[in-house]
Amino acid sequence: MPVPFLGRLRPTEYLALVGSFILVGLEALIRVLTLALPPFLVSFFYQASRRIFNRFSKPAQKRAENKRKTVSDSVRDAPDFVELCRIWGYEAEEHIAQTKDGYLLGLHRLQWRKGEEAQRVNAGPSSVRKRVVYLHHGLLMNSEVWVCLTDEQRCLPFELVDRGFDVWFGNNRGNKYSKKSIHTSPTSVKFWDFSIDEFAFHDIPDSIEYILDTTQEESLSYIGFSQGTAQAFATLAIHPKLNRKVNVFIALAPAMSPAGLSNGVVDSLVKASPQVLFLLFGRRSILSSATMWETLLYPPIFSQLIDMGLSFLFNWKTKNISASQKLAAYPHLYSFTSTKSVVHWFQIIRHKCFQMYDDDVHQPMSVSRVNKYSKVAKYPTRNIKTPIVLVYGGSDSLVDIKAMLKELPPQTVATEIPHYEHLDFLWARDVDSQVFQHVFDALDSFTDAEHTKEEYDRYYVSRHQSLIGSGYPYAYSRGSESESSTLTMNELVNGGAPPPHRAREPATVSTRNVIQTRPQVATVDDKETRATSPDVMRAGQSSENESGDTGPDSQEGTGTGKRRGSKLRRGSAGSNISVDSMREGRGISIGASKIASGIVTKSGASGLAIPEEGNTGP
């Protein structure tokens, strides 16, 4: 029998694995002891951690904790999805969908604006008809992450409801709302024997089928975050008929084949065999003790530990999320999932391929190359027919946009927000101004599952106007808290601000392999094109940072000045758009060189692009 890991790990990586075993064992011991503690001791530890925080924290941290404490506490302490929505005056419904393999999935629904609870929505011929939007969460999450914000204006689902959508939320098997099966118990290993494959083959299509059957609609629009996008990539690739039931797929912080993790210790685990991960975390749910630490620790300390973990694993700084938002949202961040689903991601990262779960464990020592005789099936994502709109962060270490676009259809459109990290798409201070309009453009353009040329034309024109609108000078913009939060104090004192930005689009673009559905916006005069979107300027609107509170404890956008449910077109404040010629023969590359396919645009604060005279069109 070969020696495990021989030839696969370096000596330092052996040490990392041994250290991981020790830490996991210690954590398990502490968890067992904690479960046996009486309530008064749990309260003692909580109060002790609070005193430690107050003793060593800086005055700014204390102010961040006290600022908007009532709202943050209400969001943090809300026990479930329904109560989170009630904080802001919205009533939610709970539904149960059964998958074909017997898992019971919890679904949530927001169908009413405030005061419309008596209306019948999508419930028969005499009911109010609304278009359906389906939102799905990421890894180790549940549907609460969409609604645990400290500002109503920054909550995408509430915006969608006010715009007249029937909004549904999915939950993966095994998490807080889907921890039941008609065949097995959650205490059994068999219950947790699932990976991304089961999400793709059962959870997503069966949830969509239930929603369409309940609403009597023919199709819906899909918005995914992180792993929620990977599940959509997979399920649309293996269910051709499902493409005729999804109008558009909007991927926020998309995940398909991450380049790798930032920390060397975790990267060593990625290279290790699945047996090591199962040995570390077991074959049931992974990191199930996270709720224990939340109970024991004072919220600001728990928040700091989460930040340290995110920095350790992914090198995320989380500067775009305010301290009060972290205090409110981090307790809702974690939910149960299987160890096997995380192992599946490690396989994808190790093989640099968006593939199905590999049940065949290769021996570390082999006479010949295993890949010569066996190959794990890849998800055929190039077969997806549903329009795909990617919105990703330029500072997100989990997104490899070049690799992703190579595996997607050429009509895929990608927009980069340079200063955004992964979680910013849920909770950033300025998520409403940076992200929402990209979502609204896609939803307003692709209104059914026919995916016609007219829909693509409408989307490209609408998107073109938004990108022009995102390029107005910073001084006249709404501003971005996330931009100001990263400025140094010296820059602020000296009046430093991001330079003005303006969209720049070329007069001519190579037409080799360009999709036929792209409209001929290039024939429109530049002045006429800019005149079609005067509202995007929104000059004179109050900035969220005008108060000068630019630290991590800045208050979220309570003064956005935004009209609820309005049709005003908005771009990302202070954006930078540059257009390169098409590279490598597929699609159009905007603001990113040598992308194999798709349309890629940078949006947000980065650099300065000055329009060249005579350049018109997209």
Could you tell me how many helices (H) and strands (E) the chain has, helices first? 23, 10
CB 598: neighbour CB atoms within 10 A? 26
Sorted by sequence, the CB contacts under 8 Å of residue 32 that are 6+ apart come out as: none
Please report where in the chains the tokens 């000045």 appear, as a residue: 561
Enclosing H/E stretch for 75? helix 69-77
Single out the catalytic residue among 20, 178, 195, 226.
226
Please report where in the chains the tokens 């002790």 appear, as a residue: 48
- Joined tokens for residue 39: 């309530």
396 is catalytic: yes
**What angle separates helix 274-281 from helix 264-271, to the nearest 10 degrees?**
120
Please report where in the chains the tokens 């775009």 appear, as a residue: 320
422 is catalytic: yes
List the alpha helices (DSSP H) in 142-220.
Answer: 156-162, 196-198, 204-215
- Report d(CA 565, CA 412) in Å as an integer: 28
**Beta 388-393 vs 166-169: how paired, if at all?**
unpaired
CB 81 within 8 A of CB 108: yes
- Report d(CA 341, CA 409) in Å as an integer: 26
What phi, psi does 135 have (nearest 5°)?
-115, 135
Single out the catalytic residue among 396, 400, 441, 553.
396
Single out the catalytic residue among 419, 422, 451, 501.
422
202 is catalytic: no
CB 102 within 8 A of CB 182: yes
Long-range pairs, 375-379, Cβ under 8 A, ≥24:
376/347, 376/351, 378/353, 378/354, 379/200, 379/233, 379/234, 379/237, 379/238, 379/354, 379/355
CA-closest candidate to residue 267, choices 9, 19, 24: 9
518-529: burial string, b at 16+ Cβ within 10 Å, e else = bbebbebebeeb
Q: Which residues are catalytic?
A: 226, 396, 422
